[in-house]
């Protein structure tokens, strides 16, 4: 199985290898193509089977890149990529996960020290060799050494945005097999955690051996790590997929158990003990002390097991949504019948954060507006980057360009099927200043998003930095507050309670950036912010129309933070949005 994400990974690797060797222009073309392939709604395998014209219909994919995509789909490799790997035999993905190490750094360190792997990098840093290379100093060397553990850990996790589509494909396949009565995703993927270790799928069947055979015979299986009647582990789309096969009468209790989290399950077990009951993956049982102490996991009188809702009811609880199952008060709230009425995807009315080809986006203003309308939005804010640190290339807009774009947005808005607002995304500096744009220009915009992009590991008080930005009267939204890039760059630390209180006081919305590489704010920070009285905005940070589909990742991230529709700014209609902004 060759997925869009797999192809995008290869194109990004191509870009990095070329950049490391100081090739100009091509790296950006490969990265643009990778981003559009990754977010394209149609499976790349089907497009490749249809021919070159179908592949090059993807925005940013020209004939040369399209031919490489087809080559990869058909053969599993790209001859030119293999040649670049031979020229620069490094573990590019692992090395560039180290904060501060980009492709050019990888190239320089390979040339000077022969560094190919994380182990090589760590050994060189510990030996003091990196600082001997021209352009590197002792501080850089220590920063690299300090960030290697994060890079190792990140390599073991997969982004939710990559894993969820694979999980859904696998689930659809499993549900279509003869002998499968019920099937569901489980584990951290079902809880919508931002990164996962593997895909967990639970299957209820009375024909476990036959189902296992059908699973392992699937044409998309790359390898079989384990095969048995109760557990089967396969490699699909470069990911480990673990299948658990259970009796239909125990599907509900197994789904609770294998969804987790571990802490949630422990809290459920403790609640069961208080009620002379036992809960495990096989069911909920009324037990005596003797039965509880017995080795028989099914000892006692079964009260529930087939249905997940019945499992919770047997513990005097309503069903608890998977996103909440982190033992952050959800069991107490359920016991008091005070669980939140969680936000639904259909509640959102628009997107406040989208980029165009005026800065680092791929499409025109009109194309982005059309895409938002087709997605179902009532309104869209065009919020390209202002000039300043942390902006990709030199794509940030100067004051005169912002004024020109305001006129262009208004011209598009005049004939648009949805409401279109003007905006900008400005960088939050280390001292909390907001961008380099004149305040008079900011005042002309409908929405100002302030986002940290650079100096994220500065020693200054990071909470104060963000609070100062929100105290700027021009700011409406604090974008991706931690600046993190999952598996690439750690989050900037801050006090979520203080941040939420400051946002509420200053009338600034805190963003849940739905891009799967960010998911920033995250669940616990959203919960703290809401409890402090803050308003949340769920935005995709879309750089192409296809990325409006990222919205679902933001919705489920906000649900992990107990967000209700009334907590979220862009559940309001356009009049409600304007009221908040002004």
Alpha-carbon distance values, 132 to 4, 113, 121, 124 (Å): 41, 10, 14, 10
Beta bridge partners of 192: none
Q: In this structure, is residue 529 part of a structural domain?
A: yes
Average pLDDT of the residues of the chain: 93
Do 401 and 533 fall within a single domain? yes
- Residue 481 scores a pLDDT above 90: yes
To 10 degrees, the CA torsion angle through 20, 23, 29, 33?
-40
Average pLDDT rounded to a whole number, residues 231-255: 95
Distance from C-alpha of 123 to C-alpha of 130, rounded to nearest angstrom: 10
Domain boundary among 122, 154, 186: 154
Q: Provide CB contacts within 8 A for 579, sequence distance 6+.
A: 572
Output 356 or 97, whichever has higher pLDDT. Answer: 356
- Residue 351 scores a pLDDT above 90: yes
Where residue 60 falls among pLDDT bands split at 50, 70, 90? confident
With beta carbons less than 8 A apart as the criterion, state whether 516 and 161 touch. Answer: yes
Q: In this structure, is residue 543 part of a structural domain?
A: yes
Do 78 and 195 fall within a single domain? no
With beta carbons less than 8 A apart as the criterion, state whether 495 and 540 touch. Answer: no
pLDDT at 146: 87
Do 143 and 163 fall within a single domain? no
Do 539 and 568 fall within a single domain? yes
Distance from C-alpha of 504 to C-alpha of 529, rounded to nearest angstrom: 9
In this structure, are strands 379-385 and 350-354 parallel, antiparallel, or unpaired? parallel
Distance from C-alpha of 92 to C-alpha of 234, rounded to nearest angstrom: 26
Where residue 126 falls among pLDDT bands split at 50, 70, 90? very high
Average pLDDT rounded to a whole number, residues 471-479: 97
pLDDT at 393: 56
Q: Provide CB contacts within 8 A for 153, sequence distance 6+.
A: none
- How many domains is the chain partitioned into structurally? 4
Distance of CA 99 to the CA centre of its chain: 18
Highest average pLDDT, of 35-49, 78-92, 461-475, 525-539, comes from 525-539
Do 576 and 531 fall within a single domain? yes
pLDDT at 36: 84
Domain boundary among 246, 275, 300: 246
Average pLDDT rounded to a whole number, residues 364-380: 97
With beta carbons less than 8 A apart as the criterion, state whether 254 and 231 touch. Answer: no
pLDDT at 374: 96
Do 390 and 458 fall within a single domain? yes
- Residue 99 scores a pLDDT above 90: no
Distance from C-alpha of 39 to C-alpha of 55, rounded to nearest angstrom: 14
Q: In this structure, is residue 513 part of a structural domain?
A: yes
Do 302 and 405 fall within a single domain? no
Average pLDDT rounded to a whole number, residues 160-184: 95
Domain boundary among 154, 169, 188: 154
Each residue of 291-302: pLDDT tens digit? Answer: 888 888 999 999
Distance from C-alpha of 509 to C-alpha of 396, rounded to nearest angstrom: 23
With beta carbons less than 8 A apart as the criterion, state whether 188 and 206 touch. Answer: no
Do 412 and 306 fall within a single domain? no
With beta carbons less than 8 A apart as the criterion, state whether 345 and 551 touch. Answer: yes
> What is the CB neighbour count within 10 angstroms for residue 170?
25
What number of residues does the chain have?
582
- Residue 39 scores a pLDDT above 80: no
Q: In this structure, is residue 449 part of a structural domain?
A: yes
pLDDT at 458: 56
Do 59 and 130 fall within a single domain? yes
Domain of 101, CATH number, reads 1.10.150.110
DSSP 354: E
Q: What percent of the chain has pLDDT over 90?
A: 80
Q: In this structure, is residue 439 part of a structural domain?
A: yes
pLDDT at 461: 67
Alpha-carbon distance values, 338 to 327, 330, 342 (Å): 15, 9, 11
Do 380 and 514 fall within a single domain? yes
Cis peptide before 521 (omega within 30 of 0): yes
- Residue 109 scores a pLDDT above 80: yes
Q: Provide CB contacts within 8 A for 450, sequence distance 6+.
A: 425, 426, 427, 428, 434, 435, 469, 470, 472, 475, 477, 478, 479
Q: In this structure, is residue 361 part of a structural domain?
A: yes
Distance of CA 554 to the CA centre of its chain: 8
Distance from C-alpha of 158 to C-alpha of 145, rounded to nearest angstrom: 23
Distance from C-alpha of 74 to C-alpha of 427, rounded to nearest angstrom: 43
Each residue of 535-557: pLDDT tens digit? Answer: 999 999 999 898 999 999 999 99
Do 147 and 286 fall within a single domain? no
Q: In this structure, is residue 514 part of a structural domain?
A: yes
pLDDT at 22: 87
Q: Provide CB contacts within 8 A for 408, sequence distance 6+.
A: 365
Distance from C-alpha of 138 to C-alpha of 129, rounded to nearest angstrom: 10
How open is the CA angle 269-271-273, to the nearest 5 degrees? 70
Instruction: Using alpha carbons, select from 311, 325, 308 the residue that is nearest to residue 187.
Output: 325
> What is the CB neighbour count within 10 angstroms for residue 387?
19
Distance from C-alpha of 512 to C-alpha of 521, rounded to nearest angstrom: 5
Do 410 and 519 fall within a single domain? yes
Cis peptide before 261 (omega within 30 of 0): yes
Instruction: Using alpha carbons, select from 468, 471, 472, 493 the residue that is nearest to residue 482.
Output: 493
Beta bridge partners of 224: 234
What residue numbers bound the domain in which 432 lies?
345-581
pLDDT at 455: 80
Domain of 268, CATH number, reads 3.30.210.10
Alpha-carbon distance values, 311 to 66, 190, 274, 373, 430 (Å): 51, 18, 16, 42, 50
Please tell me the least confidently modeled range out of 122-131, 150-159, 425-434, 453-462. 453-462
Q: In this structure, is residue 340 part of a structural domain?
A: no
pLDDT at 390: 64
pLDDT at 150: 84
Distance from C-alpha of 155 to C-alpha of 346, rounded to nearest angstrom: 34
How open is the CA angle 362-577-495, to the nearest 5 degrees? 80
Q: Return the SS3 of 307.
A: coil
Where residue 580 falls among pLDDT bands split at 50, 70, 90? very high
Exposed, middle or buried, 395 (CB in 10 Å: 0-12/13-18/19+)? middle
């Amino acid at each position: 199985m060759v997925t869009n994400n797999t192809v995008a990974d290869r194109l990004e690797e191509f870009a990095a290898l070329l950049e490391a060797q100081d090739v100009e222009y091509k790296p950006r073309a490969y990265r643009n193509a990778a981003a559009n392939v990754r977010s394209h709604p149609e499976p790349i395998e089907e497009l490749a089977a249809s021919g070159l014209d179908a592949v090059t219909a993807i925005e940013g994919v020209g004939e040369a890149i399209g031919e490489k995509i087809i080559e990869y789909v058909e053969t599993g490799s790209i001859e030119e990529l293999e040649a670049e790997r031979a020229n620069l035999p490094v573990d590019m993905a692992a090395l560039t996960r180290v904060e501060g190490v980009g492709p050019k750094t990888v190239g320089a360190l390979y040339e000077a020290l022969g560094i190919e792997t994380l182990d090589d990098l760590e050994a060189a840093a510990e030996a003091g060799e990196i600082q001997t290379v021209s352009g590197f100093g002792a501080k850089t060397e220590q920063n690299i050494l300090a960030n290697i553990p994060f890079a190792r850990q990140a390599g073991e996790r997969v982004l939710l945005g990559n894993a969820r589509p694979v999980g859904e494909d696998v689930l659809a396949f499993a549900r279509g097999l003869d002998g499968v009565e019920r099937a569901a995703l489980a584990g951290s993927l079902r809880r919508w955690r931002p990164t996962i270790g593997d895909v967990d799928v639970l299957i209820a069947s009375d024909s476990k051996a036959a189902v296992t055979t059908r699973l392992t015979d699937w044409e998309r299986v790359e390898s079989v790590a384990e095969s048995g009647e109760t557990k089967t582990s396969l490699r699909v789309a470069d990911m480990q997929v673990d299948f658990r096969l259970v009796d239909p009468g125990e599907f509900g209790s197994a789904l609770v158990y294998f969804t987790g989290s571990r802490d949630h399950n422990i809290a459920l077990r403790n609640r069961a003990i208080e009620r002379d009951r036992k809960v495990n993956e096989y069911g909920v049982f009324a037990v005596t002390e003797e039965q509880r102490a017995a080795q028989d996991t099914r000892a006692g009188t079964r009260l529930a097991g087939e249905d997940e809702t019945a499992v919770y009811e047997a513990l005097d609880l309503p069903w608890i949504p998977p996103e909440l199952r982190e033992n952050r008060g959800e069991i107490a709230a359920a016991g008091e019948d005070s669980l939140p009425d969680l936000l639904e995807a259909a509640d959102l009315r628009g997107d406040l954060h989208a980029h165009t080809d005026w800065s680092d986006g791929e499409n025109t203003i009109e194309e982005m507006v059309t895409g938002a309308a087709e997605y179902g939005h009532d309104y869209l804010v065009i919020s390209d980057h202002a000039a300043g640190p942390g902006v990709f290339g030199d794509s940030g807009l100067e004051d005169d360009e912002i004024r020109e774009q305001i006129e262009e947005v208004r011209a598009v808005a005049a004939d648009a099927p949805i409401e279109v607002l003007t905006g900008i995304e400005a960088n939050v500096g280390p001292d909390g200043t907001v961008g380099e744009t004149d305040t008079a220009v900011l005042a002309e915009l409908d929405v100002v998003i302030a986002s940290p992009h650079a100096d994220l590991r500065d020693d200054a008080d990071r909470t104060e930095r963000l609070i100062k930005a929100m105290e700027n009267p021009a700011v409406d939204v604090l974008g991706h507050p931690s600046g993190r890039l999952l598996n690439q760059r750690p989050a900037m630390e801050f006090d979520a309670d203080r941040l939420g209180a400051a946002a509420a006081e200053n009338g600034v919305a805190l963003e849940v950036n739905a891009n799967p590489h960010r998911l920033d704010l995250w669940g616990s920070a959203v919960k703290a912010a809401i409890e402090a009285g803050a308003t949340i905005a769920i935005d995709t940070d879309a750089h192409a129309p296809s990325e409006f589909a990222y919205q679902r990742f933001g919705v489920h991230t906000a649900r992990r933070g107990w967000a209700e529709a009334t907590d979220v700014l862009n559940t309001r209609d356009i009049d409600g949005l304007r009221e908040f902004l002004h």
